[in-house]
Amino acid sequence: MTQKKLAGAGLRDQVAGKTAICTVAAHDHSGLTYYGYNVEDLAEHCKFEEVAYLLFNGELPNRQQLQAYQAKLQGLRDLPRPLKEVLERIPADAHPMDVLRTGVSMLGNLETEKDFSTQREHADRLLAVLPSIVTYWYRYSHDTVRLDIDTDADSIGGHFLHMLHGQAPSALHEQVMHVSLILYAEHEFNASTFTARVCASTLSDFHSCIAGAIGSLRGPLHGGANEAAMAMIENWQSPIEAEAELMAKLKRKEKIMGFGHAVYRDSDPRNGIIKKWSKKLAEEVGDTQLYPVSVRCEEVMWREKKLFCNADFFHASTYHFMGIPTALFTPIFVMSRISGWAAHIFEQRADNRIIRPNAEYIGPAVRTVLPIDQR
Ligand code: COA
CATH classification of the domain holding 80: 1.10.580.10
**pLDDT range class, residue 2, cuts 50, 70, 90:** very low
**Whether 210 and 294 share a structural domain:** no
169 and 197 both lie in a single domain: yes
Give yes or no for residue 13 having a pLDDT over 90: no
Distance from the alpha carbon of residue 261 to the mean position of ligand 1, in angstroms: 6
State whether the beta carbon of 263 lies less than 6 angstroms from ligand 1.
no
Gap between the Cα atoms of 23 and 355, Å rounded: 21
State the pLDDT confidence band at 357, using cuts at 50, 70 and 90: very high
> pLDDT-based confidence at 151, cuts 50/70/90?
confident
Reported as a single tens digit per residue, the pLDDT across 91-118 is 999 999 999 999 999 999 999 999 999 9
Whether residue 125 sits in one domain with residue 141? yes
Residues 160-178, mean pLDDT to the nearest whole number: 97
Pick from 57, 97, 64, 102: which is nearest to 83 by CA?
102
Asked, for residue 246, whether it belongs to a domain, the answer is yes
Question: Which residue's alpha carbon is at the smallest distance from atom 34 of ligand 1?
Answer: 261
Closest Cα to atom 39 of ligand 1: 221
Please state the rounded mean pLDDT for residues 38-64.
98
* Cβ contact 66:96 at 8 Å: no
CA distances from 91 to 80, 108, 144, 219, 220 (A): 20, 21, 11, 21, 22
Q: From the CB of residue 180, how many other CB atoms can be counted at a distance below 10 Å?
A: 27
Q: Is 225 in the pocket of ligand 1 (CB under 6 A)?
A: yes
The answer to whether the CB of 87 falls within 8 A of the CB of 137 is yes
Distance of alpha carbon 271 from alpha carbon 314, whole angstroms? 7
**Residues noted as catalytic:** 222, 261, 312
What is the mean pLDDT of the segment spanning 211-221? 95
Give the angle 163-165-167 at the CA atoms, nearest 5°: 80
Question: What's residue 206's pLDDT?
Answer: 98
Q: Are 29 and 13 in contact (CB under 8 A)?
A: no
Query: Do 44 and 28 fall within a single domain?
Result: yes
Give the closest residue (by CA) to ligand 1 atom 20.
Answer: 260
Residue 359 pLDDT greater than 60, yes or no: yes
Overall average pLDDT of the 289-301 stretch: 98
Examine the pLDDT at 3 and tell me if it is beyond 70.
no
Question: Structure pTM?
Answer: 0.95
Number of folded domains in the chain?
Answer: 2
Q: Domain of 260?
A: 225-321
Give yes or no for residue 300 CB within 6 A of ligand 1: no
pLDDT at position 218: 94
Closest listed residue to residue 357, CA positions, set 6, 20, 19: 6
CATH number for the domain spanning 269: value is 1.10.230.10
Q: In this structure, are 214 and 329 located in the same domain? A: yes
| 44 and 64 fall within a common domain | yes
Res 255 pLDDT > 50: yes
Whether 250 and 207 map to the same domain: the answer is: no
pLDDT at 1: 40
User: What is residue 6's predicted lDDT score, i.e. its pLDDT?
Assistant: 60
Listed residue (336, 340, 115, 101) closest to 226, CA to CA: 336
Mutation pick for ligand 1 pocket among 259, 329, 333 (CB with most ligand atoms within 8 Å) = 259
The pLDDT of residue 9 is 87
- The closest of 185, 254, 225, 223 to 313, measured between CA atoms, is 225
Report the share of the chain in percent with pLDDT over 90: 92
228-247 mean pLDDT: 97
Q: SS3 of 259, please?
A: strand
- pLDDT-derived band at 5 (thresholds 50, 70, 90) equals low
Q: Provide the mean pLDDT of the chain.
A: 95
